[in-house]
Amino acid sequence: MRVVCVAGARPNYMKIKPVMDALERRGAEVVLVHTGQHYDPAMNDVFFTDLGIRPPDRFLGVGSGTHAEQTGRVMTAFEPLLDEVAPDLVVVVGDINSTLACALVTAKAGPLLAHVEAGLRSRDWSMPEEVNRVATDRVSDYLLAPSPDAVRNLRAEGYREDQIHLVGNVMIDTLLANLERARASDVLGRYGLARGEFGLVTLHRPGNVDDPAVLTGLLKALGEIAGRCPLVLPVHPRAAGRLAETGVPGGIRLVPPAGYLDFIALQDSARVVLTDSGGVQEETTALGVPCVTLRDNTERPVTVEQGTNVLAGRDPARIVATANRVLDAPPPPRRPELWDGRASDRIAEVLLAGGTAGTRARPTDQPGPTDRTFPI
């Protein structure tokens, strides 16, 4: 069986590596395609090195641009590649523009399509990721869900039961496989940090860093929290210019972007993590580290219901109050079911047992309970 696995940006790398490994262990021929959506070495090369991902078989080099430009370039580059490689199956992960672009091309070209992390929903249509994940699910044959809430979402949207598979969280496969290597990192010594005596911050979402008023409020709140717990902020390239323009309060230390192993080490040693990243919500839950999410919603509610994550929103006063509460009484560590390091094995078993594009019919469109009919 020939399988194309697609990655395009940092959030994809931790998800695609264990899936590739599990497929190859079972004899599948895996073709790794990197779209080049992230091309900064700090966001790309270091993660391939840290995770031991082999060089991609194909690199599309699409680069940055508007959502339409980037999505269009990925589609234009991926279509002839798919025709040349002629896979039985394409695997896309997550919710970035590359995910949707390759999903749309695959759905029209004929190979089966599998979506890893299917069913996640924030219900916030101002987030481009929400549009990407919903549209990708709609054209996928295999919906590989990380948690029970994702399964419930897919069922409510009318997908067939044979499409939906609860497999667990592949991010945690990568985390557990690399945790001891991460703990051996010297990153704490490099920055003069001590375990449990600092907080870790990440900021990168457009809604948080592109609006000067919102960013100013977030930094004000973080400055107050830093008066109690010093904060370290690895600077995402997207946020660097905005932070420089706005000014960072005392007590918040800016450091360069961290590689995967260093960043896991920082999370594992932090007293608290304040973030707007979905993946960090998952990793902190698996590590048992208190997490305060600087967003009004989350597509990973399982991290709030069963993990260590607390949703604080973006109101500065609420963020400070929430962080203080978490510092005073950290939530007990809990790891959701099937976040056990074997999600990729379950994914491979589902995909390799399902036949090929020539033997398995694509989904039949049947109206679901949430389908809407619009007058013409």
What percent helix, strand, coil does the chain show, rounded to 5? Answer: 45, 15, 40
Counted residue by residue, the chain has a size of 376
- Name the residue type at position 54: R
φ/ψ (deg, to 5) at 233: -125, 100
Q: Which structure tokens are listed for 153?
A: 């979402």
Instruction: Single out the residue of 154, 147, 148, 149 nearest to residue 133, CA to CA.
Output: 154
Contact 310, 291 (CB under 8 A): yes
- In the set 34, 67, 165, 204, the catalytic residue is 204
Residue 177: how many CB atoms within 10 A of its CB?
17
Instruction: Single out the residue of 159, 128, 145, 264 nearest to residue 202, CA to CA.
Output: 264
Helix (H, G, I), strand (E, B) or coil at 344: helix
Alpha helices (runs of H) in the chain, residue ranges in sequence order: 10-25, 45-51, 67-85, 97-109, 128-139, 148-156, 170-183, 187-191, 206-209, 212-226, 237-246, 260-269, 278-287, 302-305, 316-328, 343-352
Contact 310, 350 (CB under 8 A): no
Residue 38 appears among annotated catalytic residues = no
Q: Which residues contact 344 (CB under 8 A, 6 or more apart)?
A: 18, 19, 21, 22, 170, 173
Helix (H, G, I), strand (E, B) or coil at 311: strand
Contact 336, 307 (CB under 8 A): yes
Query: Active-site residues: which are they?
Result: 204
